[in-house]
Structures are given as structure tokens and as C-alpha cells.
Structure 1
Amino acid sequence: MTTHINEQAQQLDWAEKAAIEHLKARLATGDALHAQASQLLTLLLAGMTGALAIGSKVFESYPGPVQWGAAVVSAWLASICVVLTLKAIATRTTQTQYNEPRNLYRAELAEKYTLQQLREFELENVQQRIDLTKARNANVAWWLDRCRYAAAATPAVFAVAAAISA
């Protein structure tokens, strides 16, 4: 019986350590996605500014296809920037690696449950934080990819706008 209890304690120790490491990796992935989105935003803003400098000439007399194409590209890149900011960069609820002390130790819970049971409850809490972090990362990654695809389509947007205005 003691061997079985000892094995359960070891398994719980192992699961707790693995869960925290897993959550830590998921949180790091979220940070990496945020950094990539910020880098993409910087590139898009630079491209938008350049296109705006050329595209602003549509307000002069007799703008040509290049000016119209650049104006449309500027608007296109601005719209990607807005989507990227709202869907991938904007501040979101982020899970923490560890629970707060006031949640980990409460005298009334210590009277009702064994330490083993409390640790098992906390392991479930870590799993919930992992699940929420995975969902947040998946959503950010999905939008980041869509914004990358939209940015890659920019030459086609320019070509279509220039062709229509010609």
C-alpha cells in the first residue's frame, strides 16, 4: 500500500512539473506570435507609408495608373494593419504560469482536503490554463497567417487597381 501511495505521489510530482513546463512553452509561443505580429505591423506600416507618398498624387490633376495603384495599396495595407492589430496584437487575457498564493492555500480547504487532493485540483487548474492558452495562440496564429497572406497579395492588388484605372 505504501508503495502505491509513493508511486502516486511521484506521478503527481511528475505531472505537475510537466504541466508547468508545458504551460511555460505555450506562453512562450504566445510571446513569439505577438513579436511576429508586431514585426509584420512595422513592415506593413512602412509599406503603407511609401505607397501613401505615391498614392497621394491621385488628388492632383491627371493621376495615372501607378498613382491609383499606390493609393489602393495604401488603403489595402492600412486595412491589413487594422485587422492585424485587432486580431493578433491587441491586449488579451493571458494565463499565468502559477496560481495566486491566496488560491493555493486557504485554511478552510486545508481542513477539508488532503494535500494530495489539493494538488490534484491545482493540476486541473493548470490544464485549464493550458487549454485557454492553446486556444488564444491558435486564434492569434490564424489571424497572423491571414494577414501574411493578405500582405503577400499586395502586388496583385496593385496590378488590379492600376489596370482598372488605366
Structure 2
Amino acid sequence: MSDLLEWSEKQALENLRFHIQTAEQLAKDANATLTLLLAGAGGLVAYLVKLLESKADTVWLAAVCAFVITLSVLSATLIFFCIKTAPIAAPTNEPKNIYQPSFSLSAIREVELQNIQVRIDQVARRNMRVATWLDYVRFMAVCSPISPAAVGVLCTVLGLA
């Protein structure tokens, strides 16, 4: 029984550490995506200032504004769902929880193995949520030129040019 318990503990901790490492990679990817979105929005704001100085057509102003707003909303979505600080399970338990002299070591280890499974499930759910929203934001970033094009067409149709 001890060999099985020892092997199970080792595998469980390895699995939890893998999920924590995945969470770190997702955080890096989300930050890189945010950097690109903010750089794009910043460049568009600079372009918008140039358009305002040159008294450009309303169509161009509206389209660039729509693009800036789209990238800003995507950035906010990314921050809220992927980058916002959230708790993550530690690989091991706190000493106050595992030091229980009134129980046998094997009983404590068996309970702790169940606790590790709970932490694995928590981190895996967190990773899935973050990965899903990161994918949504990336896809919407690829589709983001649609909004300024639609605004430009709408302005043209309404005769605001």
C-alpha cells in the first residue's frame, strides 16, 4: 500500500505542477496579446490625432474611432477574464493542515492525495476558463477590422462623408 500511495502522490504532484506551469504560460500569452492590442490601439490613436489635425472626412474619423474602441474593449476583456489576479492552488498543503499527530501518516497521506486532486481540478478549471477567453480575444482581434469597415460603410450610406 505504501508504494502505491507514494507513487500516487508523486504522480499527483507532478500533474498539479504541470497545470500550474500551464497557468503561467497562459498568463504570459495573455500579457503578450495585451501588449499587441495596446500597441495597436496606441498607433490608431496617433493616427486619429493626425486625421483630426488634417480635418479628414467623418468616415475616416468614425472608422478609426471604431477600431480604437474595438481594440480597447478587447483589451479590457482580456484583462478582466485572463489577466486579473485570481487565486491559484499551491502544489502542497500548509503545515497546519497536514501536521495531525492524532492520525496515522498513511491516513493523512491518503486524505492529502484527495486534496491534491481537488487542487488539480481547481487549476484545470481555471486554465480552461482563461484559455477559452484568450482564444475568444485572439479570434476577435483577427476580426477587429470588420468594425471600422462596417462603421465606414454605415457613414457612407448615411451620407456623413
| TM-score normalized by the length of structure 1 | 0.87
Amino acid at match of 2:101: A
Q: Which residue of 1 aligns with 2:126?
A: 136
What corresponds to 2:159 in structure 1? none
8 Å contact kept, 1:58–1:68:
no
- 1:157 is the counterpart of 2:125: no
Amino acid at match of 1:149: F
The corresponding residue for 2:31 is 38
Q: Partner letter of residue 23 of structure 1? A: L
2:77 aligned with 1:83:
yes
Match of 1:123 in 2: 113
Alpha-carbon RMSD across the aligned residues, in angstroms, is: 1.6
| Aligned twin of 1:97 | 91
The separation in 1 between residues aligned to 2:37 and 2:136, in whole angstroms, is 14
* 1:22 matched to 2:15: yes
Change (3 A) 1:158 1:48: same
Shift of 1:62: 5.1
Corresponding letter in the other structure for 2:89: Q
How far the C-alpha of 1:154 sits from its partner, in A, is 1.3
CA 1:94/1:110 → structure 2, altered by over 3 Å: closer, same or farther? same
Question: Which residue in 1 is equivalent to 2:135?
Answer: 145
Pairing 1:63–2:57 present: yes
Work out the CA distance in 2 between the residues paired with 1:118 and 1:152: 51
Aligned length: 155
Identity of aligned residues (%): 32
| Structure 1: gaps (5+ residues) | 1-7
Runs of 4+ in 1 over 6 A off after TM superposition: none
The residue matched to 2:145 in structure 1 has which SS?
helix
Instruction: Measure, in 2, the Cα distance between the counterparts of 1:138 and 1:155.
Output: 27
Q: Residue 110 of structure 1 aligns to a residue in which SS?
A: coil
- Secondary structure at 2:101 match in 1: helix
CA distance in 2, matches of 1:92, 1:135: 13
Q: Equivalents in 2 of 1:163, 1:55: separation in Å?
A: 18
On the 8 A contact 1:55/1:68 being kept in 2, the answer is no
Q: TM-score, normalised by structure 2?
A: 0.90
CA distance in 1, matches of 2:59, 2:47: 11
Cα deviations across residues 93-142 of structure 1 (Å, max 9, x unaligned)? 1110111122211xxx322x211111000001101100100111111111
Which piece of structure 1 moves more, 10-19 or 149-158? 149-158
